[in-house]
Structure 1
Amino acid sequence: MARGVLLTANLPQLQNLIKRDPAAYKEEFLQQWNHYNSIRQIFQLNPDEQAAHFRELTAFISQVATCYPKETAEFPSHLSSLLLENYTSLSPDTRWSLVQNLVTLRNKNVITSVQLLTVLFPLLPRTTSSSLRTFIKKTILTDIRTANMRSKNHKLNRAVQAMLFGMVEQGMDAEVAGDKGKLRASSGPSRNGEEAMWAVLMTKELWRKGVWTDAKTVSIIALGCFHPVVKVQSASVHFFLGSDEEKEDSDDESEDEPNTKALQHRHEINKKTRSGSKKLTKQLKSAKKKRAQKNAPSAPNFPALQLLHDPQTFAEKIYDILNRYDKRFSLDHKILLMQLLARVTGAHKLCVLGFYTYIVRYLAYHQLRVPSILVALAQSVHELTPPDALAPVITKLAHEFVHPGVGGEVIAAGINAIREVCRRQPWAIEEDLLGDLVDYRKSRDKAVTAAARGLLHLYREINPSMLKRRERGKEASMSLAANTQPKPFGHSAEAAIDIEGLTLLEDHLKALRAEDGVDLDAEGEDDEAAWEGWDVESDSSSDSEAEDWINVDDDDDDLNISDSEDEKEKKEPDDAEKTEEPDAATRLSTLATTKILTPADFALLNELRIQAATKAVESGGGSRAKRKLAMLQATKAATQEGDDPSAFISENDILGPRKKAKADYAERMESIAKGREGREKFGSYKGKKRKDVASSSTNREKARNKPIMMIMASGAVRGKKKASLREKQQKLRAHIDRAKKAHH
């Protein structure tokens, strides 16, 4: 009896004894379990009464729940109901304790991940404590990532994704309030978008960590792009655009950037040790890396754009939101929607013709953030965009940006925007307007000249027939003489006959095999090694879809489809319709038909093309060879960064080369500090380094070397001019006396 009283008062000791021998201390546990049930009923009526003792009991039971699974079967549901139903009436310490107890039960496999996440997800928008919110967020991410570490846990992923879909869908029927002025009052986390916001943020974090990379993840965030709350829309749009401007609202768990000056100061004061120096160097390198990542331009999320389900409907909905709520949204939010619509349109080659009518109203040189608008315009154009829809846009750009009444930067931006549009759709501009724009290459402004020359070089390559005869150049005139006209709008290009530069790769591989003595017919042995790191993980839905395939016999009469005589006649083209055969002097490589090219082969092919282009430039290939080399090098750099160089453009492509802006105070001080590196503080480099004996120059030496215009207004010069004859005689006599003394 004394032992029971002692153990009842000392729960940690009882917990230790139960874990060692659960059967021997079952009566003591049941006593505490009955005590817990009685206190729980009192606690539900009045949460402030006996809260500390209730927390101790719940922590004790969560630790020993695995020892008595039958008796504690309802314990997880007790904690879940308390958190979900009475969360607002609980004290902060009690909330912390209950959440930690649930996590403990999950770590001991008493409850499943779905049961834990069903409780934690609704708590995120209701939690006011930043520390508890960070703990809940970290717990959710860790649990999902651990479950998908070895293999994809499709059951858990489907359950959690369905939960996130439900969180985003709540409040979708609300009215769009916009982000101009004050937002309209709304009641509940579903009305003000808190639940949808957290669903989007958690989905983005799981995508960023590589846990979820399938189309269902993209569908959750795509649904957030249509949410009536603007901050949910903005967070979803930023995901596809690749920017992280909403990071401050996501309570990111990453640490703040360390103060480099404080680290160096602490190192100077503390005791100098080798380990301390290594630690300082590591911290400074980490701070530099974080600063570089923070200042680096964001890349668009191209894989997410490709995984969109029904991108045409998605783009039309974005345009409908943009057009319907134009007066409710701020300019920054409208530009975000424009950029998203443009990138989806350009990536999937869609046609949303109303967008070009909408964007015309924003094409003015005095419009705020007009470079971003011009980027969105150029980004939305592709070879399937009708030229008739782009003609009014090109005309508006020319009238607003390209005329003598504006500055050189405005003209350059207008011509560059027209060039980027015409690069994607060459038939969007008229010949007369093209000739007028090309004439700006004679301007005195370098930016305008570069923009006009860029437009001229573009049409020399893609459609020289639209240029005047004297503007075409030698190579363009030769291509016109060979009747190599561009395809009209709506005509698809012919099938590719060969890959450019493939003969270089074939010769290179033959030379390597000849050096190693390898049989040329023995191919494919190293293909598996060449594909390492390039395999794409299959989607979770592909396994289930593969089970639905039906085996069909080849001898089935219903499926034996034979060509009729008319179809055979169509397959044999007439002499007039036959495609032109390649030139006999043109060598066609057979490598693509005999070998499956790996990504490593294409990387080697790009290197060989760069080497060939470099040799062509060194041998006097001209401006065309230089442009080709620059294009290959830019493609290589963009490929290394994981971005498609032809997919997206930036504001620098629109603004073009600009004059260097006047440095501000911070830039001037930085330049001064950079110039002082490598020299002694307040030391004269001239006097101490350039003389045999280190010494500084005297004031008389400095005065002798001063320019005449600096000393003409000095007191000494003015005194000489006003000196009397007597004063001049005295100075001359004193000079003669000093000379005699120096001589003797």
Structure 2
Amino acid sequence: MVRHNNQLPDNLPQLQNLIKRDPDSYKDDFRQQYQHFLSSLEVFALNPSDENKSLDELVIFIAQVAQCYPEECAKFPQHLVDLLKNHATTLDPIMRNCFVKALILMRNKNLIPAIDLLELFFQLLSCPDKNLRSFLQTHIITDIKNMNAKHKDMKLNSTLQNFMYSMLKDANPKAAKMSVDIMIELYKKNIWNDPKTVNVIATVGCFSKVMKVLVASLKFFLGHDDDEKGSDDSDSGDEVDLKGALMQNRVNKKTKKRKKQLEQIKKQAVKAQKKKKNAPAFNFSGIHLLHNPQGLAEGLFKQLQSTNERFEVKLMHLDVISRLIGIHQLFLFGYYPYITRFLQPHQRQVTRIMQFAAQASHELVPGDIIEPVLKTIANNFITERNSSDVMAIGLNATREICMRCPLAMGEDLLRDLAMYKTYKEKSVMMAARSLIMLYREQLPALLHKKDRGRLTEAQAERKIRAYGEVEVHETIPGAEALLKDSKEIDLGSDDDSDSNDGEWVNVSHSDDEGENVNENEEEAESDEDVDEEEEDDSGDENTDDDDDESGDDEEDEEEETLDKSESSDKEHTKKKKSSNDDVGNSTEKDVQVLDVKEAAQELAMTRIFTDEDFKRINAAQLKKTVTNARKRPLEKDRAEFVKLNSIEMIYKKRKHDKESRLETVMAGRKDREKFGWKDGRKNEHSSKTNREKGKQKNFVMMRHKARSKVKKSFRDKQKAMRKHLLHQKKMK
């Protein structure tokens, strides 16, 4: 068959197209091109620093059609790999990029095993070509993500992780930095979120001599996520675009094209709104997956003490160490004296240092260790020589530390700080009261009696724990709220207790539950009223007895002594009875409380609670934390990390909005006279003078009057005077 106008040897794109359509017919042409490639490669290997465009085109051509001739192209990837390994740094950048793209093409067609290619690419990360390194980083992350899309390949992941472990120790700082970036990115994408990756970053990255690797590893444990900020910015941009599009649609001419564009923008805005409503997905924090947090904290603290790096790097060390101590409840007693040196009002980033001190506090740290930190804050911040903002920040930091380690506060220091509850500045006053409210819940005995407040039911039930004591629950706290109603377990009536005999009934989720609770509260109030009346009656009886004891002055001394002895005997018997009654009531109540706890424990052991049951339990527990004086419960939940806002939160008087501002203005005008010039008239409805009326007229009407006020000459004054005198003579 004779081919006319055959340009295949010189036109590789045409040959590539024909081979993909019919590989068998153009097999000889491909072999010819492949032999040409081998000869060109031998020539190029002699001088790899020069660019060879013909070899570039041949490499891309063979990579595109390699799947059509797998036997002929079996050794093609190895030629490129050997060339890149032997001449990675000396190759021409254009040729090196060409070989890398050809290998990626063949990897996408599964013609090269992943491990061999990824190991080569990790080695190429040390090349002095920034564009190539970023390109390789993107490909490595994408390739590993695709390989773990359906199921995780543990063997491949383990091999690559071991290789990257050695790459982190590489002497080349660029390769080490790129390796740690890849590991962090794969962790964020939930591909390598296993403990091995985290511990490699902790043991190698956090102690690397390369500062960029060290900072990247510390930021990984601090949870800095720049992508979230970018997503927020994009969402806000979508909202702005929607508003702008709506405004343009109102103003511009109505066309079909603009109408379609507006509909598309609306759809995008709806999608963005749905994304905001969805619950955010959080990665499991890497700091929880560490195998040896104590060793890591000690190593970082030792590194911190010997480093001479800038202050920002020291702050990162302090932050990571504080998180390790707080989350894993570690013991690192040298950390607290070290951080105390930075607690000065003039210190840069002092609020963050206070945040680290609070994060490093937990219940297992002895109070004697943290108490110097509190005293330093009190001496340097909570003094009247500082501004109110500094004092409020010091009190807030003290509260956050004591929230995590209540035993660190001494009684004398707490009572001194509590005295700021009446300070003239409201920010200081509010901060001091928040500290008082904290210790009302934690250790009310340390407070002065007047600052303890009214005990809630939850505070009465709560047991104050000593150092190291762990609270163990035998049942679900608050499960007694699920017992059917208080008629079954009424502690005040003997009839009900006899009828129950310690039995319990399943909860019925009816609408009458609220009514039962209200009835129970009314019954309790009525019982309290009865008790008060009984006390009043006993008091009246005592007064009557006293009156009888006094007797008449005319009685004999013997009768008086007899009466006194009889009255004292009566009082003694009454006190005995009352004390016996109190003991009996207390024992009965204790027995009944134990019966309720046993019934709740049996209920928890024999029944699976539903979501509605837990809602009722939470509502009952919340109700226990509220009294008549306190209308809202205290926040007692301790978060893993201390928010900087909780320390920097200072009470400030907020600015009025327009409506509230107008309300205050109108309220101030109520009892005030009408604003304006007072004309001195006794009767408001009487007529005004021409001079007063002239002030309200238009200037054109009164212009002639203004002209007369212009300064007159001496001659005009003489004429006016003469005219005035002649007028007076005529009047006479």
- After TM superposition, the score normalised by the length of structure 2 is 0.68
- Equivalent residue, structure 2, for 1:424: 404
- Equivalent residue, structure 2, for 1:622: 628
Q: Are the structure 2 counterparts of residues 284 and 57 from structure 1 closer, same or farther at C-alpha, using a change threshold of 3 Å? A: same
1:650 Cα offset (Å): 0.7
1:220 Cα offset (Å): 2.7
User: What is the 5 A alignment of 1:432-451?
Assistant: 432-451=412-431
Which amino acid is 1:488 matched to? A
- Equivalent residue, structure 2, for 1:315: 297
- Contact kept? 1:349, 1:382, Cα under 8 Å: yes
RMSD (Å) for aligned C-alpha atoms: 4.4
- Contact kept? 1:237, 1:337, Cα under 8 Å: yes
1:604 Cα offset (Å): 5.2
What is the aligned counterpart of 1:235 among 195, 207, 216? 216
User: What is the 5 A alignment of 1:115-134?
Assistant: 115-124=116-125, 126=127, 128-130=129-131, 132-134=132-134
Q: Are the structure 2 counterparts of residues 433 and 258 from structure 1 closer, same or farther at C-alpha, using a change threshold of 3 Å? A: closer
Which amino acid is 2:650 matched to? P
Q: Are the structure 2 counterparts of residues 331 and 50 from structure 1 closer, same or farther at C-alpha, using a change threshold of 3 Å? A: closer
- Equivalent residue, structure 2, for 1:276: 261
- Equivalent residue, structure 2, for 1:15: 16
What is the aligned counterpart of 1:305 among 287, 291, 299? 287
What is the aligned counterpart of 1:399 among 357, 361, 379? 379
Which amino acid is 1:487 matched to? R
Q: Are the structure 2 counterparts of residues 441 and 164 from structure 1 closer, same or farther at C-alpha, using a change threshold of 3 Å? A: same
Deviates more, 1:72-81 or 1:412-421: 72-81
Distance 1:38 1:71 in 2: 15
- Equivalent residue, structure 2, for 1:655: 648
Q: Are the structure 2 counterparts of residues 259 and 608 from structure 1 closer, same or farther at C-alpha, using a change threshold of 3 Å? A: closer
1:22 Cα offset (Å): 4.3
Q: Are the structure 2 counterparts of residues 78 and 235 from structure 1 closer, same or farther at C-alpha, using a change threshold of 3 Å? A: same
- Equivalent residue, structure 1, for 2:444: 464
Q: Which secondary structure does the structure 2 equivalent of 1:305 belong to?
A: helix
Which amino acid is 1:655 matched to? E
Which amino acid is 1:360 matched to? T
- Contact kept? 1:415, 1:452, Cα under 8 Å: yes
Q: Does 1:40 align with 2:25?
A: no
- After TM superposition, the score normalised by the length of structure 1 is 0.67
- Contact kept? 1:235, 1:246, Cα under 8 Å: no
- Equivalent residue, structure 1, for 2:68: 67
What is the aligned counterpart of 1:218 among 191, 195, 198? 198
Which amino acid is 1:225 matched to? C
Distance 1:584 1:15 in 2: 88
- Equivalent residue, structure 1, for 2:143: 143
1:594 Cα offset (Å): 3.8
Which amino acid is 1:448 matched to? V
Q: Does 1:487 align with 2:470?
A: no
Q: Are the structure 2 counterparts of residues 390 and 476 from structure 1 closer, same or farther at C-alpha, using a change threshold of 3 Å? A: farther
User: What is the 5 A alignment of 1:164-203?
Assistant: 164-171=164-171, 190=172, 193-203=173-183
- Contact kept? 1:374, 1:417, Cα under 8 Å: yes
Which amino acid is 1:372 matched to? R
Q: Are the structure 2 counterparts of residues 214 and 47 from structure 1 closer, same or farther at C-alpha, using a change threshold of 3 Å? A: same
Q: Does 1:357 align with 2:368?
A: no
- Equivalent residue, structure 1, for 2:106: 105
- Contact kept? 2:382, 2:394, Cα under 8 Å: yes
Deviates more, 1:469-478 or 1:73-82: 469-478
1:606 Cα offset (Å): 5.5
1:126 Cα offset (Å): 3.2
Deviation string 1:81-113 (CA, Å, 9 cap, x unpaired) is 333443444445434332221111112111112
Distance 2:463 2:384 in 1: 34
Q: Are the structure 2 counterparts of residues 274 and 595 from structure 1 closer, same or farther at C-alpha, using a change threshold of 3 Å? A: farther
- Equivalent residue, structure 1, for 2:390: 410
Deviation string 1:313-332 (CA, Å, 9 cap, x unpaired) is 0111111111111xx22222
1:154 Cα offset (Å): 0.6
Which amino acid is 1:28 matched to? D
- Contact kept? 2:218, 2:316, Cα under 8 Å: yes
Distance 2:350 2:282 in 1: 20
- Contact kept? 2:93, 2:129, Cα under 8 Å: no
1:216 Cα offset (Å): 1.1
Q: Does 1:390 align with 2:402?
A: no
Q: Which secondary structure does the structure 2 equivalent of 1:419 belong to?
A: helix
Distance 2:458 2:482 in 1: 29
Q: Are the structure 2 counterparts of residues 655 and 302 from structure 1 closer, same or farther at C-alpha, using a change threshold of 3 Å? A: farther
Deviation string 1:144-197 (CA, Å, 9 cap, x unpaired) is 1221122111111112211221221224xxxxxxxxxxxxxxxxxx2xx32222
Distance 2:19 2:457 in 1: 93
Distance 1:305 1:596 in 2: 34
Q: Are the structure 2 counterparts of residues 441 and 257 from structure 1 closer, same or farther at C-alpha, using a change threshold of 3 Å? A: closer
Distance 2:148 2:605 in 1: 40
Aligned residues: 568
Which segments of 5 or more consecutive residues in structure 1 lack a partner in the other structure? Answer: 172-189, 516-579, 636-644, 664-670, 676-704, 710-715, 721-726, 732-744
User: What is the 5 A alignment of 1:647-686?
Assistant: 647-659=640-652
- Contact kept? 1:417, 1:654, Cα under 8 Å: yes
Distance 2:507 2:649 in 1: 44
1:234 Cα offset (Å): 2.0
Which amino acid is 2:43 matched to? I
Q: Which secondary structure does the structure 1 equivalent of 2:9 belong to?
A: helix
1:364 Cα offset (Å): 0.8
1:340 Cα offset (Å): 1.0
Q: Are the structure 2 counterparts of residues 648 and 464 from structure 1 closer, same or farther at C-alpha, using a change threshold of 3 Å? A: same
Q: Are the structure 2 counterparts of residues 421 and 454 from structure 1 closer, same or farther at C-alpha, using a change threshold of 3 Å? A: same
User: What is the 5 A alignment of 1:573-592?
Assistant: 583-586=594-597, 587-592=599-604
- Contact kept? 1:242, 1:301, Cα under 8 Å: no
Distance 1:85 1:299 in 2: 45
Which amino acid is 2:644 matched to? E
- Contact kept? 1:240, 1:302, Cα under 8 Å: no
- Equivalent residue, structure 2, for 1:338: 318
1:607 Cα offset (Å): 3.6
- Contact kept? 1:506, 1:589, Cα under 8 Å: no
Distance 1:582 1:495 in 2: 18
1:224 Cα offset (Å): 1.3
Distance 2:147 2:52 in 1: 34
Q: Are the structure 2 counterparts of residues 147 and 105 from structure 1 closer, same or farther at C-alpha, using a change threshold of 3 Å? A: same
Q: Are the structure 2 counterparts of residues 304 and 512 from structure 1 closer, same or farther at C-alpha, using a change threshold of 3 Å? A: farther
Which amino acid is 2:594 matched to? D
Say which structure is richer in helix.
2
- Contact kept? 1:401, 1:410, Cα under 8 Å: yes
- Contact kept? 1:434, 1:467, Cα under 8 Å: yes
Which amino acid is 1:583 matched to? L
Deviation string 1:646-691 (CA, Å, 9 cap, x unpaired) is 212111211233326899xxxxxxx99x99xxxxxxxxxxxxxxxx
Which amino acid is 1:309 matched to? H
